[in-house]
Amino acid sequence: MSAAAHADHTHDHDHGHDDHHNPSFLRKYVFSTDHKMIGMQYGICGLIFLAIGFILMIAMRWSIAHPGEIMPVWIRTLLGMFGKGFMDQWAPNGVMDGTLYNMFGAMHGTIMVFFGVVPLGVAAFGNFVMPLQVGAVDMAFPRLNMWSFWLFLVSGILMFGSFFVPEGAAQSGWTNYSPLASTVGAHSPNPWLHGQTIWLLAMVFNISASLLGAVNFITTVMNLRAKGMTWMRVPFFSWAMMVIAFLLLLAFPPLEVAALLQLSDRVFGSSFYLPTGLYVNGQHLDISGGGSPLLYQHLFWFLAHPEVYVLILPGIAICSDIIPANTRRPLWGYKSMVGGVLVLGFLSFIVWAHHMYMTGMGQSISTFFQFTTVMISVPSVILLTCLMISLWGGSIRFTVPMLWATAFLPMFGIGGLTGLPLAFNMIDLYLHDTYYVIGHFHYVVAPGTIFAMFGGIYHWFPKMSGKKLNSFLGHLHFWPSLICMNLIFAPMFWQGMAGFHRRWYNGGLGFPETSKGYLHLNGLMSSAAFWLAAAQLPFIINLVYTIFFAKKVNDDNPWRATTLEWATPTPPPHGNFLIEPVANRGPYEYAAPGTTDDFIPQWAPLNDYEKAHGAKELPETPKAPAHTH
Amino acid sequence: MSDSTSPTLPGDPHDHDWSAHIKTYLIVGAILFGGTVLTVGAAFMDVFDLHHRWANITLGLSIATFKCSLVALIFMHLKNEKTIIFKFLIFTSIFFAVMMFLFLSAQKDPLPADQTHNMVFKK
Amino acid sequence: MEIPYTVQPRPDTGLANPKLGIWLFLASEVMLFGGLFSSYIFLRVGADFAWPFHDLIVWPGLTNTFVLIFSSVTVVMAWASLKMRQYRKYQMYLAITILCAVAFMGLKSYEYWGKFHHYGITLTDGTIMEGHVGHSKQGDKIVFGEVNKITISLKNPSSDLRVLDYRVEKNAKFDEHHPVEGEHLYHDVEGKDPIKVKTQDGKEVELTKAWLSEERAKYMTAHKAANALERAALDAGNKEYQRPPLTVPESVTLEVVGEPLLLKVGERDLLSYDKGSLVFREETKVTGKLVTDSIEFIPDCIDLRHAKNMDKSTAWKYLGEDMKAKFFASREKSLKELKEHKPWLFNNIKVDAADRVKSTGDEDVTRRADRYNDEDDKEWAHSLDHSKLIEIDRADKRFFSNFTPRYNNFYAIYFMMTGLHGLHVIGGAAVLLWFLCTGRKMYETNPDQLANRIEVGGLFWHFVDLVWIFLFPLYYLM
């Protein structure tokens, strides 16, 4: 099956048994139940959706910097992905108007969060790496895993397809606040065929996919850990994946409720989120009323705040693997990081209403949420600080993954610290819905999580394909990206403090008093965004070049890393391990005593030094009859 | 053991005394039926001469909670289950309770009406 | 490759994978229904209308509770039988469980059906009348005749020929003796006989989809050509470019040739209407003459809790002085009885000048006193009699709906929760049926795995039961 003939495997039996049942092409690459293939499927879809979301952003940034001007040919070419009919309907003269901007804005957020970052960060890396790291042969429920991917794909196709219905895609922001989102298009002939409704249907599928995935992740970490893999030997990455899975498991259902109730409002005419006496476009709506828009916000943010941690934890998790491998030094404060991530997971459930200070929900409850929000910064800072201290005194190898990981730390730091003022009620009342908020969470997610994910791709690509991505192109990808990202997002803080509202499609032209003195920044930020697009070209070239033209590297553990995924052949075959995966020690034994090398992998047999210091051999596993199928 | 073809595995709970379990299940079933009748009764009677429906609601929901714990503990074997499941469920119920409580307190805690009025209208 | 712990528990966690998985799934289900229960309480506490209670008929809910509890017992017995290696018994118990699911859903559909056919109408003064829609003439539809002109938008892609679906013909054979369940006066036209129309330039054409799409294609071609010209001008830097008007119109106005049309339309299919024109949701406009603008209604309950002034309720205009007298007599009687037997109910109630119990007072009192229905008047309700049929002018109506999610938030959350619960019942029963049909082979090879499966399916089933244990009192009893 693979280039498994590497010297460092001590298997003596023929591993051909993995190859008996040659699965058909369909079963192997399309309807696969293998966690690695599913991880890659998620990864490819996630990257495609990230690209789509990115293109939407490019078009929006054009409208902000050059309102009312025709989009240049290259942007129109990129938007060509929607086809001619779409552009003739929504931007007939090639100029973006407010409606199209709103549509792109809502879909940019939705696609980036639910179809880009989560599938890539959680589903792709989690599926590919986590079972390998805990030494499992596969996920606990492989078929459920496949279902999870296909449900996700259906949701993605529905969401992308919603652009093409007569009244266009969702236009009420990615949060889809009611009453706007419940009533927009209320008069259309067929409420089912409205982007806003399809958004909800797509989310129901997406949530179901996440729930199946979450059950699978947790069961795998809990029940399929390899021999000797006690909880305190589980790499932080896998810990984080389990916490993320818990967040998805328990926080997503209320969003499903939110979506279903809004769906009912839209297509069955109920008034869950619609107050009595609601007027829309000067007309009294034909509804019973008696509902509350606040209910939607509660249900939505009950998910969406934990979701924020679902977005950022993969970044931290990936860095926690890249940094020790490249500083050749154990992860500093592994135990506090594990504790921190557990506390973070718990607290993330009780901070949601800090998104709702503006709803006038009352002082004491605002104070409560202010308190918990400030509290949650403690575990976040623990995680970041541990990663930073891990650099201290290390002999750092600035490999490409390490570049991304080191950039992640300050970028996430900026994003996190600028969030602190927003936790306070009084400040938030002023900054709410301004570009300050946009700058804050984009610093967390874009140069934060997405940088870490790029690092992860460079880090694990050799394991996925047996080929190392080109280092020069990697640098060419990294440096311009770093500069452009900061040029895009840093000016947002200034604009936000000046009062720029986040949903202005013309960048502030309509509000000359507010935007005075800050309007010119729009041009800078937009140009940086366009250069950022160009900076992604080396990455795409790198991927294509490496996959098709690069030579295989004859090494299963190119980074000299310690965790179990590097104990498999490259790429790992169906069933993953040729040796029995065991964890004889903790996950980050770099620069450990008792060895001439500067690291001891988890699976290496105990050395004399360890034995002398009281480490016990794991008991022999009785030969399982499993191999005789 | 009616099926003679039934295969047996060593160490199975096969020879274990099942009649006691079955008796428990039947008793619990009967209690659940009785509890349902009680719930209906509680909804229509006057509880302690309290003037508000909340008394009926509290009583009805308490019976429902009791029934629910019986189903969970006996039918779903939770009483013999491993602590790890309890841990999940405890966290789940905490989040559930938090959700319900905070939703409500966010609604029940508006700015006092007269104060708002003064702020907005009587500058 | 074999995944460990699919049947036997892992020693340190004490759990096999399926059981761990199902409990995690149930935890997420707890949050799903938790979100719904929270929404229920949120909506109920914040409701600005009298939250209905004791409005649902108890016996179907009660029966369903018994059915589900019984099925919970049988499913656990099925599992126990499997553990005791009694396959026949297992089959029997599982089959009974599935039959219970069918019975549950049957009763549920019966309840839903009743609600779909029960209507409520809120009048402009806040009075609510509940009852059924009469079907002697127009039912709850608007009848619009002498349609001679149709305007169809070419710009709006969803504009279609749906207007033709509302065509009716006058049925002369109106049965005077069975007006309610008899023939409609306005008969739907079966089959679509062609309609000839005259376009603005005097051409006579048959109104078909093909013709319309041809016209639309012409419009789109012109539109796209203009777009391309404008883009080219903007690309060349010509900011002053003025887009010339299109040579083709954005909509076509058609005159009906021959007999004018008669339409019967639901109010919700329209964007707006007046005495001389209708505008449909797809922006098609027709002109003609409004024939009937009233709702045929057979009331079985009158609810004055939100009426501005009980004495002058618009309802009396339709129900007559007789009914008004009956209502007030019954009201007085109820209040007297309540004051005698449950004086504590009145502790917190403010009574205004007209001895009017404020709706902010105790729900029990207002419901007993200000709501008048079949419990108070055995003759009135439950007989769909022609003599009870009234025609309510649409101008007097504020809101009209059957008892679907639209009616109010009680029914909205009722349908949402029982509907989702029903889906869980169907899903659970389907899984159990699957085990029942395919279990034999697994029983012979690995009976413990089958027992595990039944246990997992059973856990889900118990959870479904558990949700219902809360749903029943919340909706039917409180």
A428-474 residue pLDDT tens: 999 999 999 999 999 999 999 999 999 999 999 999 999 999 999 99
pLDDT of A362 > 90? The answer is no
Q: Which residue of C has its CA nearest to B76?
A: C459
The enclosing H or E element of C152 equals strand C142-153
Helix H, strand E, coil C: the string for A328-346 is: CCCCCCHHHHHHHHHHHHH
Please tell me the total number of residues recorded for chain C in this structure.
478
pTM for the model stands at: 0.92
- Element holding C414 (H helix, E strand): helix C409-445
Alpha-carbon distance A281 to nearest alpha carbon in chain C (angstroms): 12
- Three-state secondary structure along A143-176? HHHHHHHHHHHHHHHHHHHHHHCCCCECCCCCCC
List the single residue in A with minimal CA-CA distance to C162.
A189
Residues B106, A350: C-beta atoms closer than 8 Å: no
Shortest CA gap C8–chain A (Å): 11
Angle between helices A471-498 and A537-549 (to 10 degrees): 150
On whether any CB of chain B is under 8 Å from the CB of A604, the answer is: no
Q: How far apart are CA C354 and CA C331, in angstroms?
A: 13
What is the DSSP annotation of A381-446?
A: HHHHHHHHHHHTT------HHHHHHHHHHHHHHHHHHHHHHHHSHHHHHHHTTBHHHHHHHHHHII
Q: Is 70 exceeded by the pLDDT of residue C171?
A: no
Judge whether C464 and C429 are in contact, CB under 8 Å.
no
Tokens of A391: 């650099």
DSSP classification of residue C356: P
Q: Does B8 touch chain C (CB under 8 A)?
A: yes
Q: How far apart are CA A533 and CA A544, in angstroms?
A: 17
Query: How would residue A593 be classed by pLDDT, with cut points 50, 70 and 90?
Result: confident
Question: Band of the pLDDT at A614, cuts 50, 70, 90?
Answer: confident
Cα–Cα nearest to B1, from C451, C443, C84: C84
Do B104 and C42 make contact, defined as CB atoms within 8 angstroms? yes
Q: Kindly determine whether residue B72 and residue C472, on different chains, have CB atoms separated by under 8 Å.
A: no
**Mean pLDDT in residue range C189-202:** 80
C77/B contact by beta carbon, under 8 A = yes
Any idea what DSSP says for residue C283?
Answer: S
Answer with the residue of higher pLDDT: B1 or A288.
A288
What's the confidence (pLDDT) of residue B122? 42
Tell whether C459 is within 8 A of chain B (Cβ): yes
- pLDDT tens digits along A232-263: 999 999 999 999 999 999 999 999 999 999 99
Average the pLDDT over each of A10-14, A573-577, B102-106, C32-36 and give the range with the smallest value: A10-14
Confidence of residue A140 (pLDDT cuts 50, 70, 90): very high
Alpha helices in C7-57 (DSSP H): 17-45
**What is the full DSSP assignment across C174-209?**
--SSSTTTS--SEEEPPS----EEE-TTS-EEE--H
CA separation, residue C364 to residues B23, B61, C334, C344 (Å)? 43, 19, 11, 11
pLDDT at A628 over 80: no
CA neighbor of A165 nearest in space, from A105, A56, A82, A97: A82
- Cα–Cα dist B32/B65, whole Å: 11
- Among residues A378, A324, A354, which one has the least CA distance to residue A427? A354
Please enumerate in sequence order all residues whose Cβ is within 8 A of that of A3, keeping only pairs 6 or more positions apart, or say none: A466, A552, A554, A569, A570, A571
Task: Please name the residues in contact with A391: beta carbons below 8 A apart, sequence gap of 6 or more.
Answer: A323, A327, A406, A409
Chain A residues whose beta carbon lies within 8 Å of the beta carbon of residue B92:
250
Paired tokens of C166: 């509302």
Q: Give A301's contacts in chain B (Cβ within 8 Å).
A: none
- Asked if B68 and C468 touch (Cβ cutoff 8 Å), the reply is no
Minimum Cα–Cα distance from B110: chain C residue:
C46
Name beta bridge partners: A582.
A227
Establish if C174 touches chain A: CB-CB under 8 angstroms.
Answer: no
Mean pLDDT of A593-597: 84
ipTM over 0.90: yes
Q: Is C41 on the interface with B (CB under 8 A)?
A: yes
Classify residue B39 by burial, with Cβ atoms within 10 Å: 0-12, 13-18, 19+.
Answer: buried
DSSP-H helix ranges across C46-187: 58-83, 87-116
Contacts of C38 in chain A (CB under 8 A): 254, 298
Nearest CA of chain A to the CA of C154: how many Å? 13
What lies within 8 Å, CB to CB, of A295 at 6+ separation is A261, A272, A273, B103, C39, C42, C43
Examine the pLDDT at A380 and tell me if it is beyond 90.
yes
- Going by C-alpha positions, the residue among A297, A288, A292 that lies closest to residue A275 is A292
Residues in chain A: 629
Closest partner residue to B95 (CB to CB) among C31, C66, C345 is: C31
A69-73, A149-153, A604-608, B118-122: the lowest-pLDDT one: B118-122
Return the H-helix or E-strand segment holding C130: strand C128-133
DSSP-derived secondary structure letter, C295:
E
Q: In degrees rounded to 5, what are phi and psi of residue C87? A: -70, -40
Q: Do A101 and A60 touch, CB atoms closer than 8 A?
A: yes
Neighbours of chain C (3+ CB pairs under 8 A): A, B
In chain C, which residues have their Cβ closer than 8 Å to the Cβ of B25?
A: 73, 76-77, 80
Which of the residues B93, B101, B104, B105 would you substitute to probe the A interface, choosing the one with the greatest number of A C-beta atoms within 10 Å?
A: B105
Please identify which residue in the block is written with the tokens 């993969």: A314
Of A5, A6, A42, residue with least CA distance to A457: A42
Tell me, what's the pLDDT at A597?
Answer: 86
Binned at pLDDT 50, 70 and 90, residue C184 comes out as low
Res. B1: pLDDT tops 50: no
- Chain B: residue nearest C445 by CA? B7
Q: pLDDT digit string (tens) for C316-329?
A: 999 999 889 999 99
What CA–CA distance (Å, rounded) separates A423 from A373? 6
pLDDT, tens digit, 9 for 90 and up, residues C306-358: 888 888 899 999 999 988 999 999 988 888 888 888 777 776 666 654 555 55
Question: pLDDT value at position C307?
Answer: 86
Q: What is the 3-state secondary structure (H, E, C) of chain B?
A: CCCCCCCCCCCCHHHCCHHHHHHHHHHHHHHHHHHHHHHHHHHHCCCCCCCCHHHHHHHHHHHHHHHHHHHHHHHCCHHHCCHHHHHHHHHHHHHHHHHHHHHHHHHHCCCCHHHHHHHHHCC
DSSP A138: S
- Nearest-10 Cα torsion for A460, A464, A470, A473: -70
User: B96 touching C, CB under 8 A?
Assistant: yes
Residue C245: count of CB within 10 angstroms of its CB: 8
Could you check whether the bond before residue A330 is cis, i.e. omega within 30 degrees of 0?
A: no
Q: Distance (Å, rounded) from C-alpha A611 to C-alpha A609?
A: 5
Q: What percent of chain A has pLDDT over 90?
A: 79
Please enumerate in sequence order all residues whose Cβ is within 8 A of that of B63, keeping only pairs 6 or more positions apart, or say none. Answer: B35, B38, B39, B42, C473
Q: What is the mean pLDDT of chain A?
A: 91
Strand partners, C121: C129, C400
